[in-house]
Amino acid sequence: MVPLVARRVLITVPLVVVVSFLVFLMIDLVPGDPAVKLAGENASAERIEAIREQLHLADPLLTRYLTWLGGSVTGDLGRSFVTNQEVGGLLWTALGATASLVLVTAVLMVVIGLVLGITAAVNHGRAADRIVVALCSVLVATPSFWLALLLVVFFAVDYAIFPAIGFVPLTEDPARWLYHLVLPGLALSARPSAELTLQLRAALTEVLQRDFVTAASARGLTRAQIVGKHALKNAAVPAVTVLGFRLAEIIGGAVVIETVFSLPGLGPLMVQSVLGGDVPVILGIVVLTMLWVALFNLLTDLSYLYLNPKART
Amino acid sequence: MTGTATPAAARTTPEPAAQSHRVSTMRRFLSDRMAVAAVVYLVLLILAAVFAPVLAPADPIAQDLAKRLTPPDGTYLLGTDDLGRDQLSRLLYGARVSLLAALEAVAVGVVVGVPLGALAGYVGGRVDTVIGRVMDSIMSIPGIMLALTAVAVLGRDITIAMMAIGVVLVPQFQRLVRASTQALRNETFVEASRTIGCSRSRILLRHILPNVLPVLVVQMSVMLGVAVTAEASLSFLGVGVQPPAPSWGSMLNNAVANTFTAPYLIYPPGLAITLTVLALALVGDGLRKATSIRRRSGEGR
Amino acid sequence: MTEPAVRTASVSDAAQHTLLDVRGLEKSFVRSRNFFGRATAHHAAVRDVSFSLAKGETLALVGESGAGKSTVGRLVLRLIEPDAGSVVFDGTDVSTLDRRDLVRFRRRTQMIFQDPYGSLDPRIDVGTSVGEPLLIHDKLPRAERDRRAEELLDKVGLSRRTAAAHPSELSGGQLQRVAIARALALEPDLIVCDEPVAALDVSVRAQVLNLMTDLQEELGLSYLFISHDLALVEVIADRVAVMRQGEIVEIGPAEQLYSAPRHEYTRELLAAVPVPVPPSLRTGRVARA
Ligand SMILES: Nc1ncnc2c1ncn2[C@@H]1O[C@H](COP(=O)(O)OP(=O)(O)OP(=O)(O)O)[C@@H](O)[C@H]1O
Ligand SMILES: [Mg+2]
C-alpha cells in the first residue's frame, strides 16, 4: 500500500509543479501584452490594468510563480480577477455540485453496468446479449453532451418529467437534489456504463465457462446463485478497475455536461474563467483536477490490492 | 533422428502460394460486413467534406434573418438556425472542419508518441523508465482540461485546442508502440538482423516499425474518434472552432440555445459525430481482426 | 582444460588454428527492479565459461533448458555484453571492437536460430532477407543482391522462385534453409547454430543437418552447435561441452565423452537419451540413401 501511495505522490507532485509552471511560462511567452490578451476582446482599460496588477506582471516570472506556489501550498490560491472572490472558496462551492454529479453518475454506472452486464452474460449468444452489445457499441460512440441534449428534448421539452437546468444542494433538499441530477447523471454515465457493461460481460462470460462453475451447477446451485456467489466475485477485479479509472477521468466529461445543464460545478466555472482570462481560477481548477485524478487512480490501485490479495507484496 | 533422407527430398521446392499474405488479410477484412459498411460511410464522409463547396446548397455562413429557425422543408433540407443559415451546408462544411481538427490532434499524437514509444521499447532501461513516468503524468490530465487551459493562455483557436488534445493522445501511441516494439525486439528476426550487422536505426525503421504499423493504424482509427469527440466538445463549449465557422460541435453550441423552439437543430450534427466515431471504431475493430494472424510455430513439414 | 585433438582426417593443418577462444565468461541478468528502475536481484546465467574452437571444427554445447547455452552463443557474437571474461575471435578481443570493427566482425560470424518461423521478418520477402547482409556490408545494388540471393537459395536446396515468397508461405524446413542461405551470404567463418533443427520434423532434421555438414566441408566453416539433444550432437559434433546451471561441467572430444563420460551430470544426460545411437551413425555423418 505504501509503495502505491508513494508512486502516485511521485507522479502527481512533479506534475502539478510542472503544469502550473508551464501556465505561468506560457502567459509570459505569448507574444503581445498578456494582460490585454487575457482580458479578452472589448475589455476596459481598468480591467486590463487590474489584471496586470493581480498577476504582478511587473515581477520576474520565477518570483511570480514561487509566490503563487507558496500561497497554494498554504491553501491560498489567490482571488478571481472577475469577481474578486477567493479562489479556494469558489472551488469549494463548485466542487459540491461536481461531486454530486459524479456521485449520481457512479451509482448509475454500477447499476446500469451490473444489470446490462449480467443480462448479456447470462444470455450469452442470444438476442438479449446481442442487443446489449449493439446498444453499448453505439453508446460508446455517442458524445455525452449530445446525449444530454437528446435527454433534455425528450424528458424536459416533450414530456416535462425532469428539469432541463438547475441544481439544488443535497443539504437543502435531497429529493430535489436527486431530481435535478437524474438527466445529467444519465448523460454522463452512458459511455462509462457501456464500457463497464462490456467489461463485465466479457469477464462474467469467461468465468461462467470455467470448470468450477460447471461443478457448482452440477451440485444443484441455480444460475442466479452461481452468478451472485461465484462469478461476480471473480469478475469484480476488472470491473472495479474500469470503474475507478473512469471516475478519475470523468472530471473532463463533467465539464461539458455541467455546462449543458447549467450545474454550478467546476465545468461552467472553468469555461467562464477561460473566456474571461481568469488565470487564478483556471490554475486552481487545473490543480484540483490533477489531484482528483490522482486520488481516484490511487483508490483504484488500492481496491485492486484489496480485491486481489495475491498482488500484496 | 533418422538417416533416410533422399536427395530428392532434400531439394524441396515451395508450393506456389495459393494466395499471398496481403490478399488474405484484405479478404478477411472484406468479410466483416460492419467494417465494410463503416469504410463506405467514411469514404462518403470524406468525399462530402472535400466536395462541400460543390455539394452545399448554400453558403454555410450566409445569414438570412428572415428565414431564421425554419424547420426542415423542401428548400432547407435540414432547416436553418437562429441566424437563418442553412444547416445542410453547415453540416457539409462542418465535416471538413471537424475532420481536419481531429487529424491535427492525431498527427501530434503519432509524430511525438511513435518515436518515443519506439525509443522506450527498443532501448529500455532508464530511458524507458523516464519516458514512462512522463507518459503516466500526461495521462493524469483530462484532455478537455488541458485544452481549456491551453486556450486560456495561448488564445482561443481550434488549432491550439487540438494540439493540446494531441498531447493527451501521445501516451496512447507511445504505450502501444512501446509494447509492440518490446515484443518485436525479443523476436528472433530482430536478433537475426543484429547478427547480420544491421544498425539500430535500420532495425527500428526497416524491421520493427513496419511490423508495428498494423496495430498503429488500428489505434489511429480509434484515436481519430476520440479527437472528433474532443473537437465537438470544445467547440460546443465555445472554445474550439470560433463563429461563424461551422463545425459539428459549434453547430450544437448554436442549437442548445434553441432547444425549446427548434429541437430539430440538434439531430444532424450529433448523428454525424456519433456515426463517425462509431465507424472509426468499427474500422479499427475490423482491421484488428484481419491483421492479427495467429503465429505459426512448432512442427516443420 | 586440455585441447583435444581434432577428430576427422578431412581437417587440414590450417584448420588446426584456433578461430575462437573464450575465457572466463560471466553473465547475470536482472531478476527484479524497484520503483526507480534499480536492480534488486540478479540471476547468474553464465558462470566462468571457457572453451576454444578451431577452424572447420564443430563444438556442441549441450545442457538442459535454462543452462545458459543460448546466452553463451549471444555473448560469443557480442549480441549481449559479458560481465566478465573475454571472447577472442581470430586473435582479436571482441569486446574491444568499435562500431566499424564490430560491423566487420558481424560479416565473419553468423547465427541460425531455433525458431525458423520467427527468424525472418514476416513483412519482407525471402529474397530480400537473404540479400540484406549484402546490402549492409557490400552496398550491392538491388539487382546484384537478388541474383546472389537466388544463387544462395539454390545452394541450400531451394528453388530460385522461393525468393519471391513471404515467410508465412514456407514450411519450417524451408525457412531454416532460407536462414542458412542468409547466414552464408557473407561467407562467414563461424556460425552459431542455436538448436537449428529442434523445431523441425524428424525427417526434415536429417536433411538440414546434412546440408550443414556439406556446407562445412565445402566452405571450411566452424560451428558452435547448441543443442539439448545428445543423440543428435553425437552425429554432428567434433567436440562437446556439457553445461549445467551456467557452468561447463565437462568438455572433450565427442567419442571420448560418449564412451567414457567423466562427470556425473554427463552420465545422467546420456542415460536419458531414449534410443542408443546406432554405431553406424557414430562416424559423424548422417547416412544418406
Ligand atoms: N535477456 C534475458 N533477461 C533475463 N534473463 C535471461 C535473459 N536471457 C536468458 N535469461 C535467463 O538466463 C538463463 C539461461 O538462459 P538461456 O536462454 O541461455 O538458456 P538455454 O540453455 O539456451 O535454455 P533453452 O534450452 O531453454 O534455450 C535462464 O534462466 C534464462 O531465464
Ligand atoms: Mg536457448
Determine, for residues C211 and B192 on separate chains, whether the beta-carbon distance falls below 8 Å.
no
Say if residue B148's pLDDT is above 90: yes
Last residue of a domain, one of C148, C168, C187: C187
Q: Which residue type sits at B38? A: A
Shortest distance between the Cα of A217 and any Cα of chain B, in A, equals 34
Q: Which residues of C touch A10 (CB under 8 A)?
A: 35
pLDDT at C15 over 70: no
Does the residue C98 lie in any domain? no
Measured CA to CA, the distance from residue C197 to residue C176 in angstroms comes to: 8
Q: Give the A window 128-167 contacts with B, CB below 8 Å.
A: 137-138, 140-143, 145-146, 149-150, 152-153, 157, 164
In the predicted structure, residue B235 carries a pLDDT above the cut 70? yes
Task: Using the 3D structure, point to which of C165, C187, C209 is the last residue of a domain.
Answer: C187
Amino acid at A104: V
pLDDT of B7 higher than 80:
no
Closest residue on chain B to A290 (Cα): B141
Q: What is the pLDDT of residue B17?
A: 43
CA angle A184, A95, A240 (to 5 degrees): 65
Extract the C-alpha cell encoding B271: 448523428
B117 pLDDT higher than 80:
yes
Angle subtended at Cα C266 by Cα C265 and Cα C267, rounded to the nearest 5 degrees: 90
Residue C131: inside a domain, yes or no? yes
Domains identified in chain A, total number: 2
- C45 Cβ below 6 A of ligand 1: yes
Q: Which residues of A touch C35 (CB under 8 A)?
A: 3, 6-7, 10
Q: Looking at the structure, do residues C243 and C257 belong to the same domain, yes or no?
A: yes
Nearest residue of A to residue C35, measured between CA atoms:
A7
Q: Are C204 and C230 part of one and the same domain? A: yes
CA nearest to B247, candidates B144, B106, B95, B78: B95
Clarify whether residues A53 and A202 are in a common domain: no
Q: DSSP assignment of C188-244, as one string?
A: -SEEEEESTTTTS-HHHHHHHHHHHHHHHHHHT-EEEEEES-HHHHHHH-SEEEEEE
Ligand 2 center from residue B165 Cα (angstroms): 46
Give distance in angstroms: CA of C195 to centre of ligand 2: 7
Assign 3-class secondary structure to chain A: CHHHHHHHHHHHHHHHHHHHHHHHHHHHHCCCCHHHHHHCCCCCHHHHHHHHHHCCCCCCHHHHHHHHHHHHHCCCCCECCCCCCEHHHHHHHHHHHHHHHHHHHHHHHHHHHHHHHHHHHHCCCCHHHHHHHHHHHHHHHCCHHHHHHHHHHHHHHHCCCCCCCCCCCCCCCHHHHHHHHHHHHHHHHHHHHHHHHHHHHHHHHHHHCCHHHHHHHHCCCCHHHHHHHHHHHHHHHHHHHHHHHHHHHHHHHHHHHHHHCCCCCHHHHHHHHHHHCCHHHHHHHHHHHHHHHHHHHHHHHHHHHHHCHHHCC
At A207 the pLDDT is 79
- Helices C126-138, C99-108: axis angle to 10 degrees equals 130
Asked whether B173 and B226 are in contact (CB, 8 A), the reply is no
Pairing verdict, β C247-253 and C84-89? unpaired
Q: State the alpha helices, DSSP H only, in chain B.
A: 7-10, 21-30, 33-50, 52-55, 87-123, 125-139, 143-154, 158-185, 188-195, 200-202, 209-237, 248-256, 267-291
Give the model's confidence band at B37: pLDDT under 50 very low, under 70 low, under 90 confident, else very high. very high
Q: Is residue A119 part of a domain?
A: yes
Domain identity same for C259 and C207: yes
C85 and C122 in a common domain: no
Of B6-10, B247-251, C34-38, the least confident: B6-10
Inside any domain, residue C175: yes
Domain membership of residue C286 (yes or no) is no
Please give the single-letter amino acid code of residue A300: T
Residue indicated by cell numbers 537475426:
B192
- Reported as a single tens digit per residue, the pLDDT across B70-106 is 888 877 788 888 887 898 999 999 999 999 999 999 9
* Cα–Cα distance, C51 to B138 (Å, whole number): 52
Ligand 1 pocket test, pick from C30, C33, C40, C69 with the greatest ligand atom count within 8 Å of Cβ, gives C69
C107 occurs within a structural domain: no
Domain with C210 in it: 1-34+41-90+189-278
pLDDT in tens, C232-255: 898 899 999 999 999 999 999 999
CB B229 within 8 A of CB B142: no
> Ligand 1 in contact with C246 (CB < 6 A)?
no
pLDDT(C35) > 70: no
CA distances from C173 to C124, C130, C176 (A): 18, 16, 5
Residues C82 and C131 in one domain: no
Q: CB-hemisphere CA count at 13 Å for A242? A: 22
pLDDT at B298 over 70: no
For residues A176 and A141, membership in a common domain is answered with yes
Q: Are residues A179 and A290 in the same domain?
A: yes
Per-residue pLDDT, averaged over C37-55, amounts to: 88
Interface test with A, best of C32, C33, C35 (most A CBs within 10 A): C35
Secondary structure in 3-state letters for B188-210: HHHHHHHHCCCCHHHHHHHHHHH
Partner residue facing A274 (CB), from B148, B252, B270:
B148
In short, whether C284's Cβ falls inside 6 Å of ligand 1 is no
Contact C199 B297 (CB under 8 A): yes
Do A147 and A203 lie in one domain? The reply is yes
Selected residue of C35, C99, C123, C210 to mutate for chain B interface (largest B Cβ count, 10 A): C123
Residues B256-275, mean pLDDT to the nearest whole number: 90
**Predicted pLDDT at A141:** 93
DSSP letter assigned to residue C76: H
pLDDT level of residue C37 (50, 70, 90 thresholds): low
Residue of A nearest to B260 (CA): A157
- C35 near A CB under 8 A: yes
Q: Is residue C285 part of a domain?
A: no
Give strand pairing partners of C84. Answer: C26
Contacts of B192 in chain C (CB under 8 A): 111, 113, 119-120, 179, 182
| Cβ of C70 below 6 Å from ligand 1 | yes
Q: Are residue C2 and residue C86 in the same domain, yes or no? A: yes
Of ligand 1's listed atoms, the one at least distance from the Cα of C228 is: 25
- Cα–Cα distance list, A84 to A280, B206, C218 (Å): 10, 59, 91
How close is the nearest chain B Cα to the Cα of C217, in Å? 18
- Residue bearing the CA closest to ligand 1, atom 8: C71
* In-domain check, residue A3: no
In angstroms, how far is the first alpha carbon of chain C from the final one?
Answer: 40
| Domain boundary assignment for chain B | 23-60+76-296
Choose the weakest-confidence range: B148-152, C28-32, C188-192: C28-32
CATH code for the domain in which residue A112 is found: 1.10.3720.10
For the cut 60, the answer to whether the pLDDT of residue B115 exceeds it is yes
Task: Tell me the C-alpha distance between A261 and A257, whole Å.
Answer: 6
ipTM beyond 0.85?
A: yes
d(CA C152, CA B274): 56
Ramachandran angles phi, psi of C109, nearest 5°: -130, 145
Task: Give contacts of B194 with chain C, Cβ < 8 Å.
Answer: 79
Q: Is C167 in the same domain as C205?
A: no
If asked whether residues A193 and A297 sit together in one domain, one would say: yes
The answer on C78 and C163 residing in a single domain is: no
Question: Residue B210 Cα, ligand 2 centroid: separation in angstroms?
Answer: 27
Q: From the centroid of its chain, how far is CA A94?
A: 13
Judge whether C45 is closer than 8 Å to chain B, CB to CB: no
Tell me the average pLDDT across C27-38: 78
Q: What is the pLDDT of residues C88-105, one digit of tens each?
A: 999 999 999 998 899 999
Bridge partners (DSSP) of residue C248 are C243
Q: Which of these three, A76, A97, A129, is where a domain ends?
A: A76
How close, in Å, is residue B12 to chain A by CA atoms?
45
Whether B145 sits inside 8 A of A251 (CB atoms) is: yes
Separation of alpha carbons B178 and B113, rounded Å: 9
- Which residues in C lie closer than 8 A to residue B129 (C-beta atoms)? 36-37
Query: Looking at ligand 1, which atom is closest to the CA of residue C67?
Result: 21
Position A241, amino acid: T
Sign of CA dihedral C170, B14, B192, C16: positive
The answer to whether B221 faces chain A, any CB pair under 8 Å, is no
Contact present, C129 and C178 (Cβ < 8 Å): yes
d(CA A259, CA B234) in angstroms, rounded, equals 11
Q: Is the CB of C32 under 6 A from ligand 1?
A: no
Look at residue A256 in the predicted model and tell me its pLDDT: 94
Which residue puts its alpha carbon closest to atom 11 of ligand 1? C45
Query: Rounded to a whole number, what is the distance in Å from the CA of A115 to chain B's nearest CA?
Result: 24
Is A100 domain-assigned?
yes
For residue C68 and ligand 1, the question of a CB distance below 6 A is answered with yes
3-state secondary structure of B298: coil
- C-chain CB neighbours of B301 within 8 Å are 171-173, 201, 204
The nearest CA of chain A is from the CA of B232 a distance in Å of 8
User: Is residue C224 domain-shared with residue C238, that is, in the same domain?
Assistant: yes
Chain B 260-289, residues with CB within 8 Å of chain A CB atoms: 260, 263, 266, 269-270, 273-275, 277-278, 281
User: Which pLDDT belongs to residue C8?
Assistant: 43
* pLDDT at B11 exceeding the cut of 70: no
Q: How many other CB atoms are there within 10 angstroms of residue A80's CB atom?
A: 22
Per-residue pLDDT at C59 exceeds 70: yes
Distance in angstroms (rounded) separating the CA atoms of residues C135 and C127: 12
**CATH code, domain carrying C240:** 3.40.50.300
Give the C-alpha distances (Å, rounded to integers) separating B261 from A151, A154, B62, B255.
16, 13, 21, 10
**Same-domain status, A303 and A233:** yes
**CA proximity to A55, closest of A34, A71, A40, A69:** A34
- Regarding whether A181 and A93 lie in a shared domain, the answer is yes
Cell of A139: 453508446
Cβ separation of B259 and A164 shorter than 8 Å? Answer: yes
When CB atoms are compared, the residue of B10, B16, B196 closest to C132 is: B196
Instruction: Give the CATH architecture of domain B23-60+76-296.
Output: Orthogonal Bundle (1.10)
Each of the 313 residues of chain A gets a pLDDT tens digit; together they read 677 888 888 888 888 898 889 888 888 787 777 777 777 667 788 878 877 777 777 788 888 889 889 888 888 888 887 788 899 999 999 999 999 999 999 999 999 999 999 999 888 889 999 999 999 999 999 999 999 999 998 888 788 788 878 888 888 888 889 989 999 999 999 999 999 999 999 888 887 777 666 777 777 777 777 777 777 777 788 888 888 889 998 999 999 999 999 999 999 999 999 988 888 899 999 999 999 999 998 898 888 888 776 665 5
Residue B147 has pLDDT above 70, yes or no: yes
| C58-62 vs C222-227, strand pairing mode | parallel
Shortest-distance atom of ligand 1 to CA C64: 25
pLDDT band at C145 (very low <50, low <70, confident <90, very high): very high
Neighbouring C-beta atoms of residue B186, cutoff 10 Å: 10
The verdict on the CB of residue C69 being under 6 Å from ligand 1 is: yes
Q: Are residues A307 and A275 in the same domain?
A: yes
Check residue C23 and report its DSSP letter. E
Ligand 1 pocket test, candidate residues C33, C40, C70, most atoms within 8 A of CB: C70
Residue B20 pLDDT > 60: no
Task: Name the band, by pLDDT with cuts 50, 70 and 90, for residue B203.
Answer: very high
Reply yes or no on whether the pLDDT at C25 is more than 90: yes
Of C187, C211, C242, the residue that ends a domain is C187
A partners (3+ CB pairs within 8 A) are B, C
Residues of B in contact with C202 (CB under 8 A): 1-2
The answer to whether C36 contacts chain A (CB < 8 Å) is: no
Q: Considering the domain boundaries, does residue C102 fall inside one? A: no
A233 in Cβ contact with A157 (< 8 Å): no
Residue A23 lies inside a defined structural domain of this protein: no
Whether B6 shows a pLDDT value over 60: the answer reads no
C71 lines ligand 1 (CB under 6 A): yes
Q: For the sheet containing C39-54, what is the strand order?
A: C39-54, C18-33, C84-89, C92-93
% of chain B at pLDDT higher than 70:
89
Which chains contact C through at least 3 pairs of Cβ atoms less than 8 Å apart? Answer: A, B
State whether A165 and A199 are in the same domain.
Answer: yes
Reported pTM = 0.83
**Residue C202: pLDDT over 70:** yes
Other residues' Cβ atoms within 10 Å of the Cβ of residue C149: 27
- Which residue range is the domain that position A230 belongs to? 88-312
Is position A72 within any domain? yes
